[in-house]
Structure formats: structure tokens, C-alpha cells
Amino acid sequence: MGIREELHEAFDGQDFSNDALLARVATQLDSSPSANSHQWAAAIAAMLTITLVATLLVARAVRDGSRGAPTPSGRISQCLPTHNTSPSSGEHGSITEYPVPADLGHLGDITGGPDGSLWLIGQATNSSNSMIVKLTTSGAFTEYRVPSANTQIGGITTGPDGNIWFTETYIGGPASEPPQVNVAKVAKLTTSGTFTEYRVPGTVAELGGIITGADCNLWVTDSGSNKVLKVSTSGSITEFAIPSADSQPEAITAGPDGALWFTEYSTAKVARVTTSGHITEFPLPATGDSFGYRPSGLASGPDGNLWLTEEGNWPGGGPGQVARLSTSGVFSAYGVPTTKLAPGLSLLRDTGPRNITAGPDGNLWFSVLWNLDSVTTTGVFSQYIVTAPNGQVGEVYSMTAGPDGAIWFTGGDFTSGRPLVGKLVVKPASSS
């Protein structure tokens, strides 16, 4: 991306072309269209351009650090509260699971919080309320019931204001509204337990993933209205329409280039949206038949690329992939191993690796049915089986790098459906 393009994006779409700068300066001077005043305007425009470029370069140097190499989290670090992260203790690959309270019937996405705890989506067994659940690294649960009943929570993340932000959709609407009206909200929860909800405009919104962007706003996917939303910490919402119709946007992440990246499941694309709302779409490579792959999870990798999981879209199933995507739109795919031996079992892998996250060991971690697996940035896989407390295999839903340096995950007992939560010890990249 060129300097003028970066200025255009950084200053909310302002035009930094020569003509625009000349016009802006001429207006300020209130000059006549004489050659002399035009020369003065040109000179001042050049000075302005040099100043702006120098400012951008200084900001870029500060952002990227003294070595000048951007890290995937470098652009958003200024937006997020910090806490100390210690290397996880124990043997690499060892798994610890924690008893889940009986009133929790299902666990969904999980994220690291600003307070050194884990925060996750829960569903109560005895009511229609969803919950946001706090989990300490020692395994203690605290439950916060979402004010709005009958809601489906799509995603959860730490916001730039130090609160926990999440998306919720109530399909059907309250009794005062017609049927088939979706009441969608973006909400925040303080670490002390206070909720604030902001309603999304329209009646068809169906919200999915949420992430903090480099502009210190929240960014949300909306598959119902086929849009991406920018949400300020005060609840102001700006909507951007996705070029491809019915794209079904799902996962979203902050990219290493300062933009937001998201998956389009139905159209088999990954898209990039700048903080000013310009969207560029990248189709997944063709497979030579009429089926192919669909993108599922998405994360920023430690190598300055995006990493995504891809589900096989063949009738009756097909092999899944993990793919690397450069910020210029180049894909490199790695086939997920299809079988794995467990004690006394030969497990057939399902077609769809799902959620994916960057780990403290420099690898990408993802879920494939009852497995929590990793892949290096060169495409080498390691496989781990998650078992439920009853000894049966457990299904993994979501995972995140925890504040203690471990990979924390949510899932369920494959036979009984009871929720499970646990952590897998990984060694940081520096000690591997």
C-alpha cells in the first residue's frame, strides 16, 4: 500500500492527491487563479504532503518497533489493556480439564480477558438466558446472565475500553413486534458484572464474530443483512455492505496490515475491510470441480499472514484444510491429516476444521471434532485428543491463548453432550 493510500485510510477517506491538496490550500489562501498564487499553493501543498508523509512514517516506525518489522498484534496493542502473560507450567501437550457448573448446559466461544481471566459464552440449562462466564486460570467460574432473554450469542472479545464485548441476536423479536423480526444487539460487560446493550438498526441482522480493530473500534460480522459493522465504545454503529450478495460473513480478525479480515462462508471468500470501510474480496482457489472448500475460522498468524480453516464441501464429506493467506491475497493450503490413532481407537477426522487461534508457541491451533491440533507456519501438524471426564472423546468448539500461556478450550462430551473446558500446556516459541 502506498503512502497516499495509507493517508487516505488513516484520515477516514480524505483525498490526498495533488489536485485535492492544491484545491484545499487555494481555498485557505482565498487566492485568485493567477500563476503566482498557483505556484504558492503548489509549494505549500508539497510542504503539506512532506509533513504528512513524515508524520505517517514516524507513526509507522513507532508502531512497528525499532527493527521495523510489524507483528500481527502490533497495530492493535495500543487499543487493548495489557496484563502479564507467564509461560505455562507442565509438560508440553498435557491437558487439564475443569468441572463445569451443573447449570451450564453449553459453552461456546472463549477469549482472554483484560483481567487475567478467561471469558466465554454459556447457555443455562434451566432458562432461556444466555450467559457470559468468567473463568479464572485456577478453574473458578462466575456466571453473568445476559439481560435479554432468548438470545443467541455469536462472538466474544476484549474491547479497547477494558470491557468484554459480545454479539447477540434474538430471532422472532419481542411480543410487540411482528414475527420473523431479528432483534440484534452488540453488548458489553464490565469485569465487575454490569451489562450495556446497543441495538443494531434494521430487522434482519444476525450477528456473528466480533473483534477489536486497529482503530480502537469493535468490528462485527452480520450475516442477516450481509454487512460488516463498526461499533464505537459508546455504541455508535456504522454499517458497510459486502459486495457479494448472501455472502454469510462469519469469523473476523484484526489483520497484520491494520485492516479487518473476515470469512464469507457461502461465497467461499476471505475479505479485507479497511477502517474506512473499503472491502476487497479474495476467492478461495478453485479445486477443479463444482464443490471445493468453504472458509470457517480465521486468525492473524505470527508470520504476518492470515490463517484460516477450510471445510470440505463435497457430498458425504471431504478432507479439510488449513490455509495461509498473505495480505496481498495469495493462498497456500495444507491438508489436515484425516486419521489419528487413540488408545484402542482409530478416529476418522470430520470434514471441517473450525476455529483457529495463534498460540504462544508460534504455531496456529485449531479444532477438528474431538481434536485440538496445531500447525506450524510451514505446514507441519501436531495432533492432540481431548477426552471427556468419563473417558470418552470430547468435541472441541473454541480455543484461545490464555493469560497463563496455555491454550484454553471449550467443548462437549461427545456422548452425553455435557460441556467441558480445559487447557493444553504449550511452551513459548523462545523455549521450544
Average pLDDT over residues 308-313: 88
Q: What percent of the chain has pLDDT over 70?
A: 71
Domains, in order of start, for the chain: 3-69 (no CATH), 95-431 (2.130.10.10)
pLDDT tens digits, one per residue of 318-367: 668 999 999 999 999 998 886 655 554 545 555 578 899 999 999 999 99
Q: Is 18 helix (H, G, I), strand (E, B) or coil?
A: helix
* Residue 106 phi, psi (nearest 5): -160, 145
Q: pTM for the complete prediction?
A: 0.80
The predicted-structure confidence for 36-61, as pLDDT tens digits, reads as follows 555 544 544 444 443 443 333 333 33
The C-alpha atoms of residue 11 and residue 417 are separated, in whole angstroms, by 50
Beta carbons of 191 and 142 less than 8 angstroms apart: no
**Strands across the sheet with 407-413, in order?**
95-98, 419-424, 407-413, 394-401
Please classify residue 44 by burial: count the beta carbons closer than 10 Å to its beta carbon, then call 0-12 exposed, 13-18 middle and 19+ buried: middle
* Separation of alpha carbons 122 and 129, rounded Å: 9
Confidence of residue 413 (pLDDT cuts 50, 70, 90): confident
Tens of pLDDT, residue by residue over 235-267, are 999 999 999 999 999 999 999 999 999 999 999
CA distances in angstroms from 80 to 53, 114, 153, listed in the order given: 27, 8, 22
The confidence score (pLDDT) of residue 289 equals: 62
pLDDT for position 66: 26
Q: Scanning the structure block, which residue is given the C-alpha cell 489483520?
A: 255
Query: Could you tell me the pLDDT band of residue 117, with boundaries at 50, 70 and 90?
Result: very high
Whether residue 194 contacts residue 215, with contact meaning beta carbons closer than 8 Å, is answered with: no
What are the angstrom distances between the C-alpha of 187 and each of 80, 285, 333?
17, 36, 36
- CA–CA separation, 166 vs 431, rounded Å? 34
- Measured on CA atoms in the order 264, 229, 260, 2, is the torsion positive or negative? positive
Query: pLDDT-based confidence at 86, cuts 50/70/90?
Result: low
